[in-house]
Structure 1
């Protein structure tokens, strides 16, 4: 089977920040508070923000007293993150984490997991488990498969000051991927970016995480409540 195209450089760039950073920042305080509670964080803990983006979570956890490292593959995102300070920001690939037994906690937020082949997604989980100290925990926030399928939209539009992001979606049931063609119209320029994201049911992701070395895996819905068919988000917390 031919792998679909994923234009990471074209997806995670200044246009992404222009259209989406403001709405992400608007909920950053609430996200950081929820992460703090779900992972039982406290000042002094070593935390890895995996796929940290422009630092909206990493910076807030650092200001609460954690020693935070943020890793991302986008130089554009990291430049914005470093301007905000607070954490140590590293350019890197989440499939090839260089650390072993270093972190007390790992955060992977806002659907930052599921952008690779199944084998590489499994590799991310295995490297994350290896990067944790014994007794460490990870929290992953991603789409709730049941809610996505129930309210599936074939297309979406985001508008800002006359500029547009138009997406066409196709759900591939054989691979569990949402295949997306994103068209960006900004300042009179038009470009198209293909990407995809893997959609996981909780039992499927729990199986993968246990195989990767985690010993306990639990699911939550939005705000840390029970995961239901109506939960827009699925939050998975696992320990090793």
Structure 2
């Protein structure tokens, strides 16, 4: 079987912001509050937002007094993040880079990986991301990852989803690879009368598997919660995993 394709440049582009940014921004204050509480954040802490996207969490943590570094592979998203930081009157160090290669050993008090920003590589590379994240933390530092809850997703699996905005369409056709716990997606975007396709995939995890990966990467005391920090259940669409180095 051929490996699924991942067109990162085609996925994380202006169309993504067009269809999703407004909706996500409306949730960002509440999600930043969840991050703040779960990670016991305090003003002055050094925080790494891993795969920060267009900065919606980074900028809000900076507004609360954290010293934030946001790393992402999309220059377009980073430009948008910097613009929003200027609008909010905050300072964030936005860095273009690869989460598999982090140049900051023992630097951060906290690491954040939010809104399914983990699971876009092969298993060895995904494991390397966790090793890199652990190494970037100071001893005693904490990480929080917000992901799809594999158990709930497979129980209510949808083979297609649709987003519409101003007559433009974004259509995802899903295939669940049960042998690898990977959601393989072909995205079709119809905007301004033009259509294009973008392949991508996301690795999904049961908590026990991800817990073992994180322990092997150097984390300790790994535990899981549902959305907003509630108890994780079979019906929780989101899983938040919090661990300490």
Superposed CA RMSD: 0.6
| 1:58-97 pair list within 5 angstroms | 58-85=58-85, 86=90, 87-97=92-102
Report the equivalent of 1:49.
49
Distance 2:50 2:75 in 1: 15
Select which of 207, 215, 221 maps to 1:216: 221
2:237 is the counterpart of 1:232: yes
| 1:1-240 pair list within 5 angstroms | 2-85=2-85, 86=90, 87-240=92-245
Structure 1 outlier segments of 4+, above 6 Å: none
Name the TM-score, length of structure 2 as normaliser: 0.97
Name the TM-score, length of structure 1 as normaliser: 0.99
How far is the alpha carbon of 1:102 from its aligned partner?
0.2
How far is the alpha carbon of 1:2 from its aligned partner?
3.2
Distance 1:165 1:84 in 2: 25
> Unaligned regions of 5+ residues in structure 2, if any?
none
> Unaligned regions of 5+ residues in structure 1, if any?
none
Distance 1:119 1:185 in 2: 35
Aligned length: 240
How far is the alpha carbon of 1:232 from its aligned partner?
1.1
